[in-house]
Amino acid sequence: MNDNKNNNRIELRGVTVQLGDRVVLEGMDLAVPEGKVTAVMGPSGSGKTTVLKAITGQVPISAGEIRVGDVFVNQLSARKLNDMRRNIGMLLQNGALFTDLTSFDNVALPLREHTRLPETLIRKVVLTKLHAVGLRGAAELYPRELSGGMNRRIALARALALDPNIMLYDEPFTGLDPISMGAAVRLIRQINDVLGITSVVVTHDVTEVPRFADYCYIISDRKVVAQGTPAELENIDDGVVHQFIQGLPDGPVPFHYPAPDYTRDLLERH
Amino acid sequence: MTTGSVTGKLFVDPVKEMGRAVLFLFTALSRMRFGKTQFLETMRQVYFMGVRSLVIIMISGFFVGLVLTLQLYDTLSRFGATEALGTALALSLFRELGPVLTVILFAGRAGTSVTAEIGLMKATEQLDALDLMAIDPMERIVQPRLLAGILAVPALVLVFNVMALLGGVVFSVFMMGIDGPSFWGNIQATVALGRDFMGGMFKAAVFGFLASWLAVYFGWSSKPTGEGVALATTQTVITTAIAVLLTDFILSAFML
Amino acid sequence: MKSSHQIEFTAGLFLLLGIACLIFLAVQATDGGSEIRGGSYELVASFGNVGGLRPRAKVSMAGVTVGQVERIELDPQTLDARVTMKISERYDDIPDDTSAAILTSGILGDQYVGLEPGGSPEPMRDGDQFLITQSAVVLEQLIGRFMMGGGGDEE
Ligand SMILES: Nc1ncnc2c1ncn2[C@@H]1O[C@H](COP(=O)(O)OP(=O)(O)OP(=O)(O)O)[C@@H](O)[C@H]1O
Ligand SMILES: [Mg+2]
């Protein structure tokens, strides 16, 4: 267990998030150990993206607290929040590159914005980052000229531009072929270890998790249902975990979004 | 959060929307920052919003001048008052048609693309990405478009007026054989620099502000889907047209 | 897509084009601001009826604009209209027996104040009042008088 507070880079305690009328997270406790790769898994719509957005302060929380390093996200002023975000790199679910900028300019943007480096140095940094994701050759291309997977890799280079000390990945593997997948898995591990940073990876890909993660959380139905090292999770005798790890369509996790009774629904509507 | 009733649709919803638009504007204004980056980005938007509207404004201006002179000529000649042709043309252009027509064309050409662009940036999480990079999207995306519209519309109105006067000269002097110097001399003698011309330019600035404010607002508040963005662009055109005509009436009533 | 320098340059050219149009229209297609530039002084005239005269209307002498109407108020004692005019300093030699009349110009029916110089050697000074004035011709009154068949008195 991660009881040792000083060893946790990020800590969520009793976090509740409400979006519109819907409670998306409820009393969630989650800790991310310093210097490790932590995987967050769970069925679609269980609130994984919301966890990441709560950490970066993009969604407001209605109860609990979130600590990142030595600051509490929910108490920060706009300026302090920006200071914190400068140390966090986040790879969004679909890349979110700026479509009117080339790959090069996309990666250069945070550098131009937040540093006073001369343009020659910015060029060197950008090319290094692009090289790291294997797309130095695509520097002058626009996002629309790249495939979905390539977009995501440019976005990764952009997230790494400012040498963050925390990296958050939202489903980095979706849409990758097996080769790129292997490369991405290795890249995430390397970035974490070589740069000595802390990583959180949100993923559906249960089979890949043991290859890069030090610690795992499974969330379902608004809260954490299981946690442990990948090896520990394999042996947990819990319905939800079992269903999720084995990929079974039937089990405690409903495939359906909450809805009124099916038969009644069918009969009621003419 | 729509009120279901008819009064809700007709009255409460538009008022709510207006309240949101005003709040949005205040937020955008309070987050404005001025530096080299902001200046260059504003100039880029002047290009996308202004320069790219230039051709349609020039063509429309020329033909509006042509047809307006034709109609005025026909009307005035019934009273034997064709010497007032230049004055009537210049006054209607400077005071009303120049600013109003230009800004409506601008809303269709540049306003819609600003709305669609921001809506799409929202749908593809580009605005979120800016937030995450500790770059304020209000300052980086909204501010330059707002300022560029305020700069570009008066410039476009001026170009429109010049082209329309040219159209007027072509019709009256070259086609109808009206004496050129007297046509132009009449304009010079009767169009007041302050009240008629500058008054019209004041309107142009107000309209430019309105058009760009509504364009960024509808983009910003659009639903992040294809349908949402499509709806938002339509709203931009319709709302800008109504807002401009209403404001025009109020301003004209005060200025006369 | 154009390079960013080209874009910024073209945008700058566009704004310059706007300024050029502004100067052209302001100088060539308006009266260039008939408001009096430089110094001016005020003259006052009382009229029995100003008709449609408005502030900012022209004041002209022999067809040349020499000033404009500043304000029009009702004199509470005489119940006449007091018209205050601003006259350009350049025309500081208007004889003190000059008369003022409210006239109508053009088909648009703009009303203005026309000055008819007298022969006195003494010029008018700031704040002076015209001694002889002629009110606006009000069409309805003319018709009324015509119907009554009477000549009526000079106002
Ligand atoms: N803006 C919003 N308003 C209301 N509900 C929302 C909003 N955004 C997300 N939700 C709800 O929150 C829940 C969690 O969303 P989230 O995006 O965190 O899921 P996820 O675990 O990332 O799913 P996926 O694996 O499909 O990406 C979903 O059920 C969704 O319906
Ligand atoms: Mg998600």
- At residue A1, does pLDDT exceed 50? no
The residue of chain C with its CA nearest to that of B39 is C8
Does C155 fall in a domain?
A: no
Does C154 fall in a domain?
A: no
Cβ pair A83:B134 closer than 8 A = yes
The more confident residue out of A163 and C4 is: A163
Average pLDDT over residues A31-56: 90
- Gap from B122 CA to chain A (nearest CA, Å): 10
Contact map slice: B 70-99 vs C, CB within 8 A = 79, 81, 84, 87, 90, 94
Does C20 fall in a domain?
A: yes
Half-sphere exposure at residue A90, Cβ-oriented, CA atoms within 13 angstroms:
28
pLDDT, mean over chain B: 91
Same domain, C85 and C24: no
Average pLDDT over residues C22-33: 85
Same domain, C6 and C74: no
Range among A27-41, A123-137, B56-70 with highest mean pLDDT value: B56-70
Which among B121, B126, B134 has the least Cβ separation from residue A82? B134
Write the burial class of residue A76 (CB in 10 Å: 0-12 exposed, 13-18 middle, 19+ buried): middle
Same domain, C18 and C66: no
Q: In this predicted structure, what is the pLDDT of residue C150?
A: 55
Residues of B in contact with C22 (CB under 8 A): 158, 201
- At residue B189, does pLDDT exceed 90? no
Task: Please indicate if any CB of chain C lies within 8 Å of the CB of B29.
Answer: no
Average pLDDT over residues B217-221: 96
Q: Which domain holds residue C3?
A: 1-30
Average pLDDT over residues A31-55: 90
Same domain, C23 and C44: no
Same domain, C82 and C102: yes
String of DSSP letters for B129-159: HHHHTT--HIIIIIHHHHHHHHHHHHHHHHH
Half-sphere exposure at residue A213, Cβ-oriented, CA atoms within 13 angstroms:
27
User: Which segment of B110-119, B153-162, C99-108 scores lowest on mean pLDDT?
Assistant: C99-108
Please tell me the distance from the alpha carbon of residue A237 to that of residue B244, in angstroms, as a whole number: 67
Does C76 fall in a domain?
A: yes
- At residue C141, does pLDDT exceed 90? no
Q: How many domains does chain C have?
A: 2
> Is the beta carbon of A103 within 6 A of some atom in ligand 1?
no
Of the pLDDT bands very low, low, confident and very high (cuts 50, 70, 90), residue C60 is: confident
ipTM (interface pTM): 0.86
Cβ pair A110:B135 closer than 8 A = yes
Does C153 fall in a domain?
A: no
- At residue B114, does pLDDT exceed 70? yes
CB-proximal residues (5 Å) to ion ligand 2 = A 49
Contact map slice: B 119-158 vs A, CB within 8 A = 120-121, 124-126, 128-129, 131-136
Of the pLDDT bands very low, low, confident and very high (cuts 50, 70, 90), residue A80 is: confident
Q: What is the pTM of this model?
A: 0.79
Q: In this predicted structure, what is the pLDDT of residue C33?
A: 67
Does C112 fall in a domain?
A: yes
Helix (H) or strand (E) holding B47: none
List CB contacts of B256: < 8 A, sequence separation 6 or more: none
Residues of C in contact with B94 (CB under 8 A): 25
Distance A25 CA to ligand 1 centre (A): 10
Average pLDDT over residues A202-208: 83
Q: In this predicted structure, what is the pLDDT of residue A182?
A: 86
User: Which segment of A30-44, A222-236, B211-225 scores lowest on mean pLDDT?
Assistant: A222-236
